[in-house]
Structure 1
Amino acid sequence: MKTVRIGRRKIGDQYPTFVIAEMAWAHDGSVENAKKIIDAAANARADAVCFHLTSMKNYMVPQYRTGKGRVSAGKEALPIYAYLSRINLTPAAWAELFPYARKNGLLICAMCNDLPSVGLAFNLKADAYVVSPASLAEENLVRCVAKKGKPVFLRVGGATMEEVERAISWMKEEGNENIVLVYGFQSYPTKLEDMHLKFIPTLKQKFQVPIGFADHTDGGSDLALVIPLVALAFGANVIEKHLTHDRSLRGEDFESALDPPVFKKFVVNLRKIEEAFGFPDVRSLSKAEREYREIARKRTVAARDIEKGEKITRDKLAFKRSDEGIFSD
């Protein structure tokens, strides 16, 4: 399987899980809120933060979803175009936040929702790009991102295998094979029966690239800390988790987001579980295993007293736990 390198970090089966704190729109249009989220991601020792860069007029038509209800419970009762336009961060804001995240030791994954945003992310020196499920079939955007020469996270939730194959083909045609496929989608929050975690090894086996899981479990449930670990067990190399500065405010994307203390606990738990997993390669016994083997394995011992010079036969031997005796090997 291919290994992908982002900044100082490598992503693959032989390396620690790459943890992304997804800010998305949880800043609610405030640079200060965004900085609080960045601080929380850094404090939890996430590897990266995911920023959503958007030029509204290039991203959606003004009448999108008008009269069809809210997409997220966090949104006000406004047309989504007007609402997102109000909380969308400006290029100047991003120019402040990119170096702020770097100063805090975080890599930056830029989800570019349109072509102008790709240019902005490039100018601000994003470490990696993210193509959302909404843009996976947009050939110009996928090719544009690929040409930047940075690793690309292709978000494949809600995509057919044919669409995934086509996006990968576009990437490779542009000379970029630094691809990570990220499974999972947002349903405010996503129901357990819609997650299909067993699809993760299917993707890994078919495409031979690192696989990520973007978790959108209800952030207020106990399972919010469990589901990502299950994804890890199914072979996920990347875990992306929504992070907000204060879930109680019910801001944008709060449904699947974690508060800072809970996010930190999530990362701590993940690293502990990772230790238990070890690595899949054939290896020699660990020090602890050798000690266990020495203490616990049965040895060949005398079943009864054997006189000096007496011929030893099978019936005179026994296998018992003992500090003395001979191991069978």
Structure 2
Amino acid sequence: MKTIAVSNRKSIGQGQPTYIIAEIGINHNGSLEIAKKLIDEAAAAGCDAVKFQKRTPELCTPKDQWHMQRDTPWGRMTYINYRHKVELGYDEYAAIDQHCRDKNIDWFASCWDEPSVDFIEQFNPGVYKFASASLTDYALIEKVKATGKPYILSTGMSTMREIESTIEKFGTDNLMVAHSTSAYPCPPAELNLKMIHTLQELYPQTPIGYSGHETGLATTLSAVVMGAYFVERHFTLDRAMWGSDHAASVEPQGMHKLVRDIRDIETAMGDGIKRVYESEMGVLKRLRRVITPQQEELKPLA
């Protein structure tokens, strides 16, 4: 299993702690102030990274939807104008870059088109993420591959053949793969967590992770137990906020619990070598009727 450096502080892979990503996406609703608050909360929870989404609206919005009217927090407007409202520009991302440095947390983005890759490259991210919708977008993957940076492929809304074809085309150098189901929120019956094992068997040298859109935390914790090297959950200040992704997101209190429980799981996994711990010795002496010679010689272990 290879280990892939995603920043000057963190790596993903065997022997590394689970890399925990708070997916801010567009949950900042176009506000730098909200983006900074989300970064603060993610850092306070102990997340390793926050992730944004970057689009060029004219390239990512079907033309037949440009002039459709939509009710938004800024009033009723065309859909293309709304898409511009929720995009952050250079000055905002420069502030985000500095704020993440100040908070000692990684940040990166899912780019939905080639000009967005050029835009995010100005900030020299350590890794890129492809949204599930981009798994078949070979031109976009080629653009990111040309940067030489590691990248994560998310596999929601994709067939096994599509996953295999993309990986066959681009190889496994610098590759990480996230199992995902693209339903918001996703019902437990459609999470299909055993796909983590399927991907591990298919690509044993590639770090496999999990990008979840469910409600609750238990299934994400299960993904860690199943061997996910990184996990990603959408993150919001309040699930009742206006916007498409908030309802399938984790709030700050939940993110604190998620990070805490993942770290407890990592500690509890141990190394698979059987020991008798010092905390067991008093119980052994009180409850065991038959003491073997090995136990007579047993030295308590911390």
Give the TM-score normalised by the residue count of structure 1. Answer: 0.79
- 1:236 to partner: Cα distance: 1.1
Higher alpha-carbon deviation: 45-54 or 259-268? 259-268
8 Å CA contact 1:76, 1:83 repeated in 2: no
Deviation by residue 1:141-197 (Cα, 9 ceiling, x = unmatched):
11111121111010111112222223223433xxx7111101113322111111101
Contact in 2 for aligned 1:154/1:179 (Cα 8 Å)? yes
Q: Are the aligned partners of 2:132 and 2:182 in contact in 1 as well (CA < 8 Å)?
A: no
The alignment partner of 1:235 has SS state of coil
Q: Counterpart of 1:204 in structure 2: which amino acid?
A: Q
**How many Å separate the matches in 2 of 1:278 and 1:66?**
57
Partner of 1:2: 2
Query: What SS does the corresponding residue of 2:63 show, helix, strand or coil?
Result: coil
Summarize deviations over 1:62-95 as a string: whole Å, max 9, x none.
324988x99xx99998765443222222233222
Name the SS of the counterpart of 2:64 in structure 1: coil
State the SS of the aligned residue for 1:327: helix
Q: Tell whether the 8 Å contact from 2:225 to 2:265 is kept in structure 1 after alignment.
A: no
Question: d(CA) in 1 for partners of 2:276 and 2:63?
Answer: 63
Change (3 A) 1:161 1:64: farther
Which residue identity is paired with 1:272? D
Equivalence for 1:188: 184
Compute the displacement of 1:21 (Å): 0.4
* 2:213 matches 1:216: yes
2 CA distance for matches of 1:114 and 1:286? Answer: 53
TM-score after normalising by structure 2? 0.86
Contact conserved, 2:29 with 2:86, CA < 8 A, in 1?
A: yes
Structure 1 stretches of 5 or more lacking a match?
219-223, 298-318
Quote the sequence identity (%): 30
CA contact (8 A) 1:21 1:50 kept: yes
- Bigger Rg, structure 1 or 2: 1
Name the CA distance, whole Å, in 2 between partners of 1:157 and 1:186. 5
Aligned ranges 1:201-280 → 2 under 5 Å: 201-208=197-204, 209-218=206-215, 224-279=216-271
8 Å Cα contact 1:74/1:252 also seen in 2: no
Letter in structure 2 aligned against 1:246:
D
Q: Which moved more, 1:248-257 or 1:226-235?
A: 248-257
Give the superposed CA RMSD.
3.0
The question of 1:321 aligning with 2:290 is answered yes
Distance 1:185 1:230, change over 3 A: same
Q: Could you tell me how far 1:14 is from its partner in structure 2?
A: 2.2
Q: Distance in 1 between matches of 2:157 and 2:62?
A: 21
Question: 1:2: how far off?
Answer: 2.3
- Indicate whether 1:118 and 2:114 are aligned: no
Q: Distance in 2 between matches of 1:256 and 1:237?
A: 22
- 1:258 corresponds to which letter in structure 2? V
